[in-house]
Amino acid sequence: MSHATQHITFGRAAPGIVVRDIQAAHAFYSGVLGFRKTFENGNPVGFMVLEKDSAEIHLSQAREHRATTINVFHMYVDDVAALYAVCQSAGVRIIKSLQDKDYGQRAFVFADPDGNRIDVGEPT
């Protein structure tokens, strides 16, 4: 442990997600996952903050963005099976189906409209 930071308490982290169309991303994260916009910046808008409960996501627009094949971030929920069902019924592209992991979580991975991979889970 770094002696320089041992007295500092870290809080929640807010992942930054790069998207090609910030309005389409906002529609997805609010319409499917229930996030609400709490801040936007730019004219046209190029940055947006979305929140749901204690989760926060920062969207940044870059028209040339291409998603990678790795998970962008992991999000914890209290009922991963219910969210999995919501995503399936909304036609969200599921990358990895709901499964129990050997590291003590039940999780699945989905892709947002830009192909960003989001890993969602809950402790088992």
What's the pLDDT score for residue 10? 81
Distance CA 76, CA 63 (A): 29
CATH number assigned to the domain comprising residue 47: 3.10.180.10
Asked whether residue 29 carries a pLDDT value surpassing 80, the answer given is: yes
Q: Averaged over 40-46, what is the pLDDT?
A: 96
- For residue 49, the enclosing domain spans 16-123
Within a domain: residue 93?
A: yes
Among the listed residues 39, 37, 52, the one whose alpha carbon sits nearest the alpha carbon of residue 83: 52
Beta strands at 71-76 and 36-41: parallel, antiparallel or unpaired:
unpaired
Within a domain: residue 5?
A: no
What's the pLDDT score for residue 1? 55
What's the pLDDT score for residue 71? 86
Within a domain: residue 7?
A: no
Asked whether residue 122 carries a pLDDT value surpassing 90, the answer given is: yes
Query: What confidence tier does 2 reach under pLDDT thresholds 50, 70, 90?
Result: low
The count of structural domains within the chain is 1
Within a domain: residue 70?
A: yes
| Token pair in block for residue 27 | 């529609």
What's the pLDDT score for residue 57? 96
Q: Rg for the chain (alpha carbons), in Å?
A: 16
Asked whether residue 3 carries a pLDDT value surpassing 80, the answer given is: no
Q: What is the pLDDT of residues 63-108, one digit of tens each?
A: 898 888 888 889 999 999 999 999 999 999 999 999 999 999 999 9
